[in-house]
Amino acid sequence: MTDLNCDQLVELVTDYLDGALDEETERRVADHLVGCDGCTTYVQQIRRTITTLGSAPPADVELSDEARDALLAAFREPPR
Amino acid sequence: MRDQAELPTDAELIDRLRNRDEDAFALVLDAWSGGMARVARSIVSTHASADEVVQDAWLAVVQGIGRFEGRSSLKTWVYRILVNTAKRRAMREGRQVSWSPVAGEDDSPTVDPARFGGPGDRFPGHWLAFPAPWPSPEQDMLAGEVQAHVEVALAELPDRQRVVITLRDVEGYSADEVSSILQISAANQRVLLHRARALVRGKLEEYFVASAATDVGTEARP
């Protein structure tokens, strides 16, 4: 069994964070990260990217009042 | 902002919706329409058509609630209707949204191979230069600007990748839920997510590297 290279590790990050790797590969990723500052930074930056995406401000439009009223009316009397 | 009240359980909601309890419908309408608009925008071309897609999806929900079998969560079912409504709309607008893999899209490296050592280098396959660290979120005075760059990066993604990353990372759905909403395999979902995250990270890296260079220039001035 060979050690992972950095260019292989960066392609496994999403599977790694999702816990979708087999046990053996997960261990190789963890071992690599212990010894590699570059890949540790890369994984941190992917995590940061995810939290940044998740803190996007809420969509700037809600339903307009007209649309909301129309939908509530449709709910009261659904088309047959 | 309308209040985001805590929603009742799925079982209670479904029961109340089937009994035409208007308060229950107003609850889900107010809780989910904003997120639905974001997802719709990732599929159709304009905000206006995204808003119409959200309304059309809710009408389909109103008509279909009696047939909902509860094999997924209510929200997953609503989002599946939303995504299908948006796809039909996108097709009418001349955009092809296909969830099946596109040849060549799914197997190229997500990080520029030039950043790693080649066969002749001392450490083949290893970083030639480590990625530069980013400022911590606390140090980062320009959170709004970071968000703006993320928005641009999202807009530039291929359609399927944008939909997946919007559901997973912006809306916070689990891998299983996203596969279920889009009706794609878990593996396909992860490939699209992986490529999308790598691209957005790359855009943030460009931004942070550029602004670090500007900062150095600023500090150098007396």
ipTM, two decimals: 0.88
Higher pLDDT, B140 or A66: A66
Measured between beta carbons, the chain B residues lying within 8 angstroms of A48 are 134, 137, 204
* Structure confidence at residue B219 (pLDDT): 47
Answer yes or no: is A45 within a domain. yes
Please give the pLDDT value at position B3.
43
With beta carbons less than 8 A apart as the criterion, state whether B97 and B87 touch.
yes
Predicted pLDDT of residue B105: 61
**Chain A residue set in contact with B, beta carbons under 8 Å:** 5-8, 10-11, 13-15, 18, 20, 36-39, 41-42, 45-46, 48-59, 61-64, 67-68, 70-72, 74-76, 78-79
Query: With bands split at pLDDT 50, 70 and 90, how would you rate the model's confidence at A61?
Result: low
> Residue A10 is part of a domain; what is its CATH number?
1.10.10
Give the rounded percent of residues in chain A with a pLDDT score beyond 90: 76
CB-based contact A78 B63, cutoff 8 Å: yes
What's residue B221's pLDDT? 45
Whether the Cβ atoms of residue A46 and residue A23 lie closer than 8 Å to each other:
no
Per DSSP, what are the bridge partners of residue B124? B117
Cβ-based contacts of A63 with chain B (< 8 Å): 29-30, 33, 51, 54-55
- As for how many domains chain A has, the answer is 1
Bigger pLDDT: B16 vs A77 = B16
The nearest CA of chain A is from the CA of B147 a distance in Å of 7
Q: Please report where in the chains the tokens 């309890």 appear, as a residue.
A: B21
Asked whether the predicted pLDDT for residue A80 surpasses 70, the reply is no
- Measured in angstroms, the CA of B17 and the nearest CA of chain A are apart by 9
Q: Is the pLDDT of residue A1 over 70?
A: no
**Residue A1 located in a structural domain:** no
Contact B110, B194 (CB under 8 A): yes
- Output the pLDDT for position B137: 75
Q: Where are the alpha helices (DSSP H) in B183-222?
A: 186-220
DSSP string for B45-88: S-HHHHHHHHHHHHHHHHHHGGG---SS-HHHHHHHHHHHHHHH
Q: Using alpha carbons only, give the angle B210, B146, B217 rounded to the nearest 5 degrees.
A: 30
The pLDDT of residue B2 is: 44
More confident residue, A12 or B221: A12
Looking at the domain assignment, is residue A49 inside a domain? yes
What are the tokens at B221?
A: 């001035």
Residue closest to B26 by CA, chosen among A63, A18, A37:
A63
CB-CB contact of B152 with A33 (8 Å) = no
* pLDDT tens series, chain B, 222 aa: 344 557 899 999 999 999 999 999 999 999 999 999 989 998 998 889 999 999 999 999 999 999 998 888 999 999 999 999 999 999 888 877 666 656 556 678 999 999 999 988 888 999 999 999 998 876 666 678 888 899 999 999 988 899 999 999 999 999 999 999 998 999 899 999 999 999 999 999 999 988 877 765 554 444
Query: What are the residues facing B116 on neighbouring strands?
Result: B127
Parent domain of A47? 6-76
Residue B174 is predicted with a pLDDT of: 93
Provide the pLDDT for residue B213: 76
